[in-house]
Amino acid sequence: MKRFFSLIAAVALSAGLIELSVASAAQAPQLPTMEAGEISTSYGYLTDNFYKKVDPQVVLDSVRTQLLGAMRTAGVKHAELPAMHASDAASSNVRSIDREIEVADAESKSKFTLHDLTYVALDGMMKSVSDRYTVFMSPKEFAGLNQGLDGGDFGGTGIVIQIDDKTKYISVENVVPNGPADKAGIEQDDLITTIDGASTKGMSLAAASGKLRGKEGTKVTLTVTRDGAAPSPPITITRAKIHQLSVYEKMLPGKIGYIALTVFGRDTGSELDTALDRLQKQGARALVLDLRDNGGGYLEAAVAVSSKFISSGPIVSVESRASNVTTLDADDTAINPLPLVVLVNGYTASASEITSGAIQDSSVGTIMGTKTFGKGVVQTIIPLPDGSAIKVTTARYLTPRNRDINHLGITPDVVVSENKHPQFGQPSKDEQLAHALQYLDDKLAHQTLEDGG
């Protein structure tokens, strides 16, 4: 199952045009307090904190261009706006943007609200620095980002499922710790043979998931079989609120623990603690940390994850526009060392690359797979009062050996190509994982010989 914040306007205009623009501005309603505050906050943060020097004139020109583009797209005939001229005073530039929005509103004749045009201006402001990661996010986009990073909630049993290749029944890929299924005794690799009396043989994942999920407090009855034994007596599970996890673990053959991270969210560090504890109690002799297709997340989560494998020393250095460098060290939460492979690919990015780079530079594990994405910059998210937000690139980061991997990526220690249509986490259908298991088996065997075993 493959998975998971310059356009130059004309300097001179005719006197008549200037007078017309001033008159239009005078007739336009004043920008409301909230919208004016969002413009001021966003302009100030972008120009003060973007990791490269920002030209105020380019910001103003970009705002004007976006407003004009929106007006023309909406069918405003002969759309025109006055050119704005940057001042050394940020407050003057902010007021220029406010007036431009007010004029655009008057000229658009009710095709937009002032709120709509504020969003257009904020988008233009962020686009001015030509950085793909510096963006304005609407409330819906910001909420989506938060849910992607922090996980959503749903009513269910807390079972991650897959189709068993041999029997075609639904198999238990993973069990959410302390969830209803976990408390009922359901375990990884159990086969669910019936759900509420309906056989799961040949059932699709979507259909099975639909039957397992449901309103909190409702019940679902399963029969399961374990290790080829006869099906169990019916097991009734009461659905509860399940929080979507960012960390999934299971034990693979040879007592090699497998941990997949889908994102670096707020709870990823604590979820990883739980996963590692469960694997250690099951006797894990080595670990695979799967960061493939993980697009990153919070910097703090990257430090927390890296610190589970690196006992001391630097994890990452963060360099701001003023060349101020802050080095973040391991937080003294490392587990006892085990042979470790980190799986990466071209979609391993950002916080995932911080962890991969820290593990590689600290020589506590082997990076395996294909070259990573190459996102070596850090964004800061500034929420705005109406639920929208701006995401601004505020720094670049360096690995413990001061490598800048932006646009370069991390080259694995062992390069292994991805097979067609892999099912991540399934060694028989995941050649990179199969290679990692063989590598760790060989390493464990070598250690045994060295120890005289």
The set of catalytic residues is 350, 361, 375
Helix then strand then coil, % of the chain, to nearest 5: 35, 20, 40
CA dist 81 and 7 (Å) reads: 14
Look at strands 377-383 and 240-243 and give their pairing: unpaired
CA dist 204 and 362 (Å) reads: 44
Q: How far is CA 263 from the centre of its chain?
A: 5
| β-pair partners for 396 | 319, 377
DSSP annotation string for 302-359: HHHHHTTT--SSEEEEEEETT--EEEEEP-S-PPPP--EEEEE-TT--THHHHHHHHH
CA dist 48 and 2 (Å) reads: 40
Question: Which pair of tokens denotes residue 187?
Answer: 């375990």
| β-pair partners for 242 | 154
Helices (H) and strands (E) in the chain, counts: 12, 19
Q: Which residues contact 100 (CB under 8 A, 6 or more apart)?
A: 60, 63, 64, 67, 81, 82, 84, 121
